Structure 1
Amino acid sequence: MTQTSSTGLKPVHGLFAIVGFLVCVEVASGVLQGYYTPIYPDIAEHLGIPEGDVNWFEAAQLIVSALCVPLLARLGDLVGHKKVLLLSTAVTALGSWVLAFAPNFTTFLIGWAIQGAYVVWLPLEVAIIYRRTAGTGQQTRLTRRSAAILVGALELSVIVGALTSGALVEATSMTVLLMLPAIVVTICLGLIWWGIEDAPGEASGGIDYGGLALITAALGLVMAGLVVVRLEGAGSVVAWLLVLAGLAVLVPFVRYENSLDEPLIDVRLLSSAAQWPVQLTAFLFGMSVLGAQIPLSTFAQTDPDSAGYGLGASSGFVSTLIGVYVIFLAIGAFTLPLSSRLLGPRAALVASSLLVALGYGMWLAMHDTTAQALTNMAVIGLGSGALVAALPATAAASAPPERTGFATGMTNATKTVGGAIASAVFAIALTATGSLDGPDEGKAPLSGYLTVWAVCAVASLIAAGVLLMMPKVAEDEDVERPVVV
Structure 2
Amino acid sequence: MSTVDPVDTAQPPPHSKGVVATLAFAGIVAAIMQTLVTPLLADLPRILHSTPGNTAWVITVTLLTGAVCVPVVGRLGDLVGKRPMLLICCAPLIAGSVVCALSSSVLPMIVGRALQGMGMGVVPLGIALLRDVVPAERLSSSIAMVSASMGIGGGLGLPIAAAVAQYANWRVLFWGSAVLAAAVTALLWALVPNVPAGARGQRFDLPGALGLGAGLVCLLLGISKGADWGWGSAATLGLLGAAVVVLLLWGVWETRTKDPVVDLRTTARPRVLLTNAASIFTGFGMYASMLVLPQLLQFPEETGYGLGQSMLAAGLWMAPGGIMMMFVSPLGGKLSNARGPKFTLVGGVLVIAAGYGLSLLLMGSAWGVMVALMVINSGVGLAYGAMPALIMGAVPLSESAAANGFNALMRSLGTSIGAAVVGVVLAQLTTDFGGHALTSENGFRTGLLVGCGVALLAGLIAAAIPYRREAEGPRASGAVRVESREALAEG
* TM-score where L is the length of structure 1: 0.88
Which secondary structure does the structure 2 equivalent of 1:123 belong to?
Answer: helix
What is aligned with 2:130? 129
In 2, the alpha carbon distance for the partners of 1:439 and 1:110 equals 38
2:457 is the alignment partner of 1:462: yes
In 2, the alpha carbon distance for the partners of 1:342 and 1:9 equals 25
Query: Which of residues 251, 264, 267 in structure 1 aligns to 2:264?
Result: 267
2:353 is the alignment partner of 1:340: no
In 2, the alpha carbon distance for the partners of 1:63 and 1:168 equals 26
In 2, the alpha carbon distance for the partners of 1:165 and 1:178 equals 10
Query: Which of residues 272, 277, 286 in structure 1 aligns to 2:274?
Result: 277
- Counterpart of 1:87 in structure 2: which amino acid? I
Q: Is there any run of 5+ residues in structure 2 with no aligned partner, and where?
A: 479-491
2:204 is the alignment partner of 1:207: yes
Q: Is the 8 A contact 2:221 2:239 kept in 1?
A: yes
What is aligned with 2:422? 426
How big is each residue's C-alpha offset from its partner over 1:127-180, in whole Å with a ceiling of 9 and x where there is no partner? 1110224xx5x2xx4221112333566655556544444444455433334211
Which secondary structure does the structure 1 equivalent of 2:271 belong to?
Answer: coil
2:370 is the alignment partner of 1:369: no
Offset of residue 17 of structure 1:
2.9
- Counterpart of 1:332 in structure 2: which amino acid? V
Q: Is the 8 A contact 1:13 1:197 kept in 2?
A: no
2:71 is the alignment partner of 1:81: no
What are the within-5 Å matches in structure 2 for residues 34-183 of structure 1?
35-49=36-50, 54-133=55-134, 138=136, 141-151=137-147, 157-158=153-154, 161-183=157-179
Q: Is the 8 A contact 1:290 1:416 kept in 2?
A: no
Which secondary structure does the structure 2 equivalent of 1:442 belong to?
Answer: strand
Q: Is the 8 A contact 1:257 1:263 kept in 2?
A: yes
Question: Are the structure 2 counterparts of residues 11 and 402 from structure 1 closer, same or farther at C-alpha, using a change threshold of 3 Å?
Answer: same
In 1, the alpha carbon distance for the partners of 2:292 and 2:53 equals 14
Which is worse superposed, 243-252 or 279-288? 243-252
What are the within-5 Å matches in structure 2 for residues 185-196 of structure 1?
185-196=181-192
2:375 is the alignment partner of 1:385: no
Q: Aligned pair count?
A: 470
Which secondary structure does the structure 2 equivalent of 1:264 belong to?
Answer: coil
- Counterpart of 1:387 in structure 2: which amino acid? A
What is aligned with 1:350? 346
Question: Are the structure 2 counterparts of residues 160 and 195 from structure 1 closer, same or farther at C-alpha, using a change threshold of 3 Å?
Answer: same
Question: Are the structure 2 counterparts of residues 131 and 474 from structure 1 closer, same or farther at C-alpha, using a change threshold of 3 Å?
Answer: farther
How big is each residue's C-alpha offset from its partner over 1:451-485, in whole Å with a ceiling of 9 and x where there is no partner? 3222221221111111112223544752389xxxx
In 1, the alpha carbon distance for the partners of 2:168 and 2:17 equals 38
In 2, the alpha carbon distance for the partners of 1:416 and 1:196 equals 26
In 2, the alpha carbon distance for the partners of 1:328 and 1:417 equals 24
Offset of residue 97 of structure 1:
1.1
Which is worse superposed, 399-408 or 141-150? 141-150
How big is each residue's C-alpha offset from its partner over 1:413-435, in whole Å with a ceiling of 9 and x where there is no partner? 11111111221222222222669
In 2, the alpha carbon distance for the partners of 1:12 and 1:337 equals 20
Question: Are the structure 2 counterparts of residues 253 and 151 from structure 1 closer, same or farther at C-alpha, using a change threshold of 3 Å?
Answer: closer
- Counterpart of 2:368 in structure 1: which amino acid? Q
Offset of residue 292 of structure 1:
4.2
Offset of residue 388 of structure 1:
2.1
In 1, the alpha carbon distance for the partners of 2:435 and 2:313 equals 21
Query: Which of residues 312, 319, 329 in structure 1 aligns to 2:315?
Result: 319
Query: Which of residues 271, 284, 289 in structure 2 aligns to 1:287?
Result: 284
- Counterpart of 2:102 in structure 1: which amino acid? F
In 2, the alpha carbon distance for the partners of 1:43 and 1:13 equals 47
Question: Are the structure 2 counterparts of residues 385 and 50 from structure 1 closer, same or farther at C-alpha, using a change threshold of 3 Å?
Answer: farther
Q: Is the 8 A contact 1:34 1:160 kept in 2?
A: no
How big is each residue's C-alpha offset from its partner over 1:200-230, in whole Å with a ceiling of 9 and x where there is no partner? 3121422212222222222122223224412
Which is worse superposed, 179-188 or 151-160? 151-160
Offset of residue 362 of structure 1:
3.1
Which is worse superposed, 179-188 or 161-170? 161-170
Question: Are the structure 2 counterparts of residues 193 and 260 from structure 1 closer, same or farther at C-alpha, using a change threshold of 3 Å?
Answer: same
How big is each residue's C-alpha offset from its partner over 1:375-428, in whole Å with a ceiling of 9 and x where there is no partner? 221210110111222222321122101011011111211111111122122222
Question: Are the structure 2 counterparts of residues 312 and 448 from structure 1 closer, same or farther at C-alpha, using a change threshold of 3 Å?
Answer: same
Q: Is the 8 A contact 1:155 1:327 kept in 2?
A: no
What is aligned with 1:26? 27
Q: Is the 8 A contact 1:82 1:196 kept in 2?
A: yes
In 2, the alpha carbon distance for the partners of 1:461 and 1:446 equals 23
Identity %: 23
2:296 is the alignment partner of 1:299: yes
Offset of residue 354 of structure 1:
0.4
What is aligned with 1:414? 410
Indicate the RMSD between aligned Cα atoms, in angstroms. 2.9
- Counterpart of 1:393 in structure 2: which amino acid? A
Question: Are the structure 2 counterparts of residues 160 and 229 from structure 1 closer, same or farther at C-alpha, using a change threshold of 3 Å?
Answer: closer
Query: Which of residues 436, 439, 445 in structure 2 aligns to 1:450?
Result: 445
Q: Is the 8 A contact 1:151 1:330 kept in 2?
A: no
Question: Are the structure 2 counterparts of residues 35 and 56 from structure 1 closer, same or farther at C-alpha, using a change threshold of 3 Å?
Answer: closer
Q: Is there any run of 5+ residues in structure 1 with no aligned partner, and where?
A: none
How big is each residue's C-alpha offset from its partner over 1:92-120, in whole Å with a ceiling of 9 and x where there is no partner? 11111111111211110111122012321
Q: Is the 8 A contact 2:305 2:441 kept in 1?
A: yes
In 2, the alpha carbon distance for the partners of 1:439 and 1:215 equals 47
- Counterpart of 1:185 in structure 2: which amino acid? A
Q: Is the 8 A contact 1:426 1:448 kept in 2?
A: no
Which is worse superposed, 55-64 or 33-42? 33-42
What is aligned with 2:466? 471
In 1, the alpha carbon distance for the partners of 2:103 and 2:434 equals 28
